[in-house]
Chain A
Amino acid sequence: MIQKFNYVAPKSLNSALKILSENKNAKVLAGGTDIIPGFHIESRRFIDTELLVDIKKIQNLHAIKERKDFVEIGACVTFAELAENELIRKYFPLLAKAAETVGSVQIRNRATIVGNFVNNAPCADSVPPLLVYDAKIQIQSLKKTREISLQKFLIKPYATALKKGEVVTKIILPKPDENFVGDFYKLGRRRAVAISRISLAVLMRKKDGLIDEIRIASGAVTPIGTRLYELEKFAKNQIANSDTFKELAIMLGEKVLEITGLRWSSEYKLPVLQQVFYQLLEKVNRNEK
Chain B
Amino acid sequence: MKSKSLKKVRVKFNLNCRQVEIETKPNKRLIDLLREDFGLTGTKEGCSIGECGACTVLVNGNAVNSCLVLAGEVDGARVITIEGIAKNGTLHPLQENFLKHGAVQCGFCTPGMILSAYALLLKKQSADEEEIKEAIAGNLCRCTGYKQIIEAIKYTIKEMSEKQA
Q: Does A119 contact B (CB under 8 A)?
A: no
Interface of B is mostly: mixed
In the complex, which residues 1-39 of chain B have their Cβ closer than 8 Å to any Cβ of chain A? 1-3, 5-7, 9, 26-29, 32
Q: Which of B3, B64, B119 has the most CB of A within 10 A?
A: B64
A106 contacts B70, CB within 8 Å? no
Note all chain B residues with C-beta closer than 8 A to A103: 50, 138
B69 contacts A2, CB within 8 Å? no
Note all chain A residues with C-beta closer than 8 A to B99: none
Once the chains are docked, how many angstroms separate the CA of A32 from the CA of B50? 11
B65 contacts A6, CB within 8 Å? no
A37 contacts B68, CB within 8 Å? yes
Once the chains are docked, how many angstroms separate the CA of A63 from the CA of B139? 29
B26 contacts A5, CB within 8 Å? yes
Given A104-B138, A110-B64, are A1 and B32 also a contact pair (CB < 8 Å)?
yes
A106 contacts B64, CB within 8 Å? yes
Q: Does B62 contact A (CB under 8 A)?
A: yes
Once the chains are docked, how many angstroms separate the CA of A39 from the CA of B27? 10
A56 contacts B68, CB within 8 Å? no
Given A7-B9, A9-B75, A56-B73, are A106 and B27 also a contact pair (CB < 8 Å)?
no
Interface string of B135-154 (1 = CB under 8 A from A): 10111000000000000000
Shortest CB-to-CB span from B132 to chain A, Å, is: 11
Interface string of A220-259 (1 = CB under 8 A from B): 0000000000000000000000000000000000000000
The size bracket of the interface on B is: 35 or more
The size bracket of the interface on A is: 20 to 34
A105 contacts B6, CB within 8 Å? no
Shortest CB-to-CB span from A245 to chain B, Å, is: 31
A5 contacts B68, CB within 8 Å? no
Q: Does B110 contact A (CB under 8 A)?
A: no
In the complex, which residues 83-142 of chain A have their Cβ closer than 8 Å to any Cβ of chain B? 103-107, 109-110
Once the chains are docked, how many angstroms separate the CA of A5 from the CA of B2? 9
Shortest CB-to-CB span from A194 to chain B, Å, is: 10
In the complex, which residues 41-93 of chain B have their Cβ closer than 8 Å to any Cβ of chain A? 48-51, 53, 56, 59, 62-65, 67-70, 72-73, 75
Which B residue sits closest to A38, measured CB to CB? B49
Instruction: Name the contact of A105 in the complex, choosing from B49, B59, B116 (C-beta under 8 A).
Output: B116
Q: Does A33 contact B (CB under 8 A)?
A: yes
Which A residue sits closest to B73, measured CB to CB? A54
Note all chain B residues with C-beta closer than 8 A to A212: none
A50 contacts B1, CB within 8 Å? yes
Q: Does B134 contact A (CB under 8 A)?
A: yes
A-B contact list, 6 entries, CB within 8 Å:
A36-B70, A54-B70, A104-B53, A107-B50, A109-B64, A193-B51
Given A32-B70, A56-B73, A110-B69, are A104 and B3 also a contact pair (CB < 8 Å)?
no
Shortest CB-to-CB span from A2 to chain B, Å, is: 6
Shortest CB-to-CB span from A176 to chain B, Å, is: 28
Given A104-B137, A107-B65, A191-B137, are A37 and B50 also a contact pair (CB < 8 Å)?
yes
Shortest CB-to-CB span from B17 to chain A, Å, is: 21
B137 contacts A105, CB within 8 Å? yes
Note all chain B residues with C-beta closer than 8 A to A283: none
Q: Does A156 contact B (CB under 8 A)?
A: no
Which A residue sits closest to B60, measured CB to CB? A109
Once the chains are docked, how many angstroms separate the CA of A9 from the CA of B76? 12
Instruction: Name the contact of B7 in the complex, choosing from A6, A32, A80 (C-beta under 8 A).
Output: A6
